C-alpha cells in the first residue's frame, strides 16, 4: 500500500467508526427515551406497560381534583369519558390546569393501576379533546365525535359556572 492509500484507509476507517459510534449511541438513547402515549381506555385494557415511563392523557375529570391539606400532593382523575385513570402527583400544577380541560401526564403506571406523574402538562385547547386521545378512542372502537361533544359540553358548563381562578376579587 502506498502511503497515500494508507492515509485514505485511515480516513475511511475513522469515519466509519465515528459514524458507527454515533448511530449506536443514537439508537440506544432513542430506545430508552421514547415515551409512548396511552389514553385511559388503553390503560384500562391493559395495553400500557407497568413501571416504565409513558405519557397518558385525557380530560381532568370534574370534581376529582383533591389537594392534600399540608403538602403539595394532589390526586386527580384523567378521563376519556369511557374509562378513568387515577393520577397522583406532588408539586405545582401548570397555570392552565383546570377541571374539564385537556391534560397530558408523564410518568409511570403503578402495579395498582394508579399513575405516578412526574410531569403534568396542561393546554388550553378549543377542541377540548387532545388529538391523541381522540385517536385512541377511535382505535378502541368508540366514536370520538360523541365523546368530543360530551367533553365540549362539560368544558363549556365549567367555563360558564366560572371555576374559581386565581382568587376572588
Minimum Å gap between C-beta 97 and another protein is: 8
Give which of 79, 65, 75 is closest to 130, Cα–Cα: 79
**Which is nearer to another protein, 112 or 165 (by Cβ)?**
165
Q: What mask of x and - would describe binding to another protein in positions 46 to 75, judged by CB under 8 A?
A: -------x-x-----------x--xxx---
Size of the site for another protein (CB under 8 A): 37
Q: Given candidates 12, 16, 29, 145, which one binds another protein under the rule CB under 8 A? A: 29
Q: Given candidates 2, 3, 32, 46, which one binds another protein under the rule CB under 8 A? A: 32
**Which is nearer to another protein, 7 or 143 (by Cβ)?**
7
131 CB neighbour count, 10 Å cutoff: 12
Which residues have C-beta within 8 Å of that of residue 59, sequence separation ≥ 6? Answer: 78, 79, 80, 81, 100, 101, 102, 103, 128, 129, 133, 151, 154, 155
For residues 19 and 12, give the distance between their C-alpha atoms in angstroms, rounded to a whole number: 10
**Which is nearer to another protein, 53 or 148 (by Cβ)?**
53
C-alpha cell at 109: 403506571
Angle between helix 131-139 and helix 144-161 axes, rounded to 10 deg: 140
163 CB neighbour count, 10 Å cutoff: 13
Residues that bind another protein (CB under 8 A): 15, 18, 22, 25-26, 28-30, 32-37, 53, 55, 67, 70-72, 90-93, 95-97, 106, 123-124, 132, 135, 164-167, 169
Amino acid at each position: 500500500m502506498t502511503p497515500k492509500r494508507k492515509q485514505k484507509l485511515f480516513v475511511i476507517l475513522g469515519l466509519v467508526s465515528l459514524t458507527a459510534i454515533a448511530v449506536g449511541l443514537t439508537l440506544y438513547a432513542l430506545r430508552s427515551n421514547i415515551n409512548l402515549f396511552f389514553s385511559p381506555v388503553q390503560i384500562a385494557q391493559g395495553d400500557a406497560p407497568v413501571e416504565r415511563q409513558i405519557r397518558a392523557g385525557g380530560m381532568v375529570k370534574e370534581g376529582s381534583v383533591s389537594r392534600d391539606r399540608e403538602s403539595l400532593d394532589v390526586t386527580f382523575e384523567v378521563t376519556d369519558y369511557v374509562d378513568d385513570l387515577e393520577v397522583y402527583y406532588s408539586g405545582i400544577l401548570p397555570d392552565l390546569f383546570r377541571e374539564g380541560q385537556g391534560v397530558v401526564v408523564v410518568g409511570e403506571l403503578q402495579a395498582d393501576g394508579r399513575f405516578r406523574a412526574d410531569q403534568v402538562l396542561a393546554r388550553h385547547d378549543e377542541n377540548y379533546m387532545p388529538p391523541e386521545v381522540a385517536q385512541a378512542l377511535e382505535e378502541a372502537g368508540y366514536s370520538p365525535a360523541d365523546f368530543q361533544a360530551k367533553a365540549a359540553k362539560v368544558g363549556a358548563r365549567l367555563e360558564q359556572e366560572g371555576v374559581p381562578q386565581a382568587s376572588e376579587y
